[in-house]
Structure 1
Amino acid sequence: MIVQELQHAQTHLDVQSLAWVLMPDHLHWLMQLNETTTLARTLRVFKGRSAKTANHYLDRTGGLWQKGFHDHAIRQNESLQQVARYIVANPIRAGLVRRVGDYPLWDAVWL
């Protein structure tokens, strides 16, 4: 359900998902914003839609995501592919899997 909301954000919120990994308790998402949206709006809509969907599926109410978000703007000297590799390797560093390919909830445009 959350993956579908990431895909919805790309097609309806004018962002390009470059890489993401959905962890058991948080999300890492490398995206490129286009001129028609802001990070705050994108995350507000994504969090709202995904919480509504998950709550409906789980037959519950209430918040799903923490308030706010932590962001990091990519600087010119940073490699997008290196940042993407770092993001998708989070399940390895968390001890959930031994190889990235063993974790199902991630994607990157460089595949």
Structure 2
Amino acid sequence: MADSPFRFFDPVEPITITRGHLPHWDQAGATYFITWRTLDSLPLPVWNKLLSLRAAWLRTYKINPQAPDWRWHFEHLPKVLRLEFARLFSMNLDMELDSCHGACLLKQPEFARIVADSLHHFDGDRYVLGDFIVMPNHVHLLVGGMARNAMLAQMKSWKRWTSRELNRHVGRKGRFWQDEGFDHLVRSEAAFEKFRRYIAGNSVKAKLRPGEYLHWARPN
């Protein structure tokens, strides 16, 4: 991908780690795989189940999930264990999202288009937009070329604008999206292509019919 506008994780360059339910890594100009979801995408019992799964895993490695500094201990585990943790939590989260909990308003093409238009709006200006898919209750996308910390700020901007527009169309007020999204720094061209395949196949895995999702692939 010599002519690609996407850059991948460089272990030599500085990184910034911010906190939330999971650690988020930022690096200037890097490429990210991002997921965010609607407020009703995971019923409370399901979310609590995922948290219990996470807690059980942490206890296996002598980390108290209730301790304020559990993330510090987690980050000092061997890399292979941290990757195992991410795969386990992400796999179960994705499975629940693809079960289409909640009202799934984004199944309606006109609502999915609002999200898609917001992603395209600053493409080539603030960022380089990669492939994305708008699912009935969540969004997956690849995005690159972001300045340090700008990715999380841009995600908040997308969510704020689309929340206002979607609420206006359905005649309601209040939060539309969960506050926090999940993001992964793309480490290599192979990982980038893996995420592209995941995005392209997400609707099939969720057994959706044409018109119940919106998939866009950046032309090569």
Q: TM-score, normalised by structure 2?
A: 0.44
Secondary structure of 2:216 counterpart: strand
CA shift, 1:67, in A, is: 1.1
Matched residue, 2:119: 6
CA shift, 1:37, in A, is: 6.1
Per-residue CA deviations over 1:24-48 (Å, capped at 9, x if unaligned) read 0000011113337611111010000
1:55 aligns with 2:173: no
- Paired with 1:8 and 1:50, the residues of 2 have a C-alpha distance of 12
- Paired with 1:77 and 1:50, the residues of 2 have a C-alpha distance of 30
CA shift, 1:8, in A, is: 1.6
Please list every run of at least 4 consecutive aligned residues from structure 1 whose deviation after the TM superposition is greater than 6 angstroms. Answer: none
CA shift, 1:7, in A, is: 1.3
Unmatched tracts of structure 1, length 5 or more: none
- Paired with 2:122 and 2:193, the residues of 1 have a C-alpha distance of 21
> Are the counterparts in 2 of residues 9 and 46 from structure 1 also a CA contact under 8 Å?
no
CA shift, 1:63, in A, is: 0.8
Matched residue, 1:82: 194
CA shift, 1:21, in A, is: 0.3
Matched residue, 1:70: 182
> Are the counterparts in 2 of residues 51 and 63 from structure 1 also a CA contact under 8 Å?
yes
One-letter identity of the residue aligned with 2:117: Q
- Paired with 1:72 and 1:35, the residues of 2 have a C-alpha distance of 15
- Paired with 2:189 and 2:214, the residues of 1 have a C-alpha distance of 28
Give the structure with higher Rg (CA): 2
Unmatched tracts of structure 2, length 5 or more: 1-113
Alignment RMSD = 2.1
Identity of aligned residues (%): 23
- Paired with 2:219 and 2:144, the residues of 1 have a C-alpha distance of 14
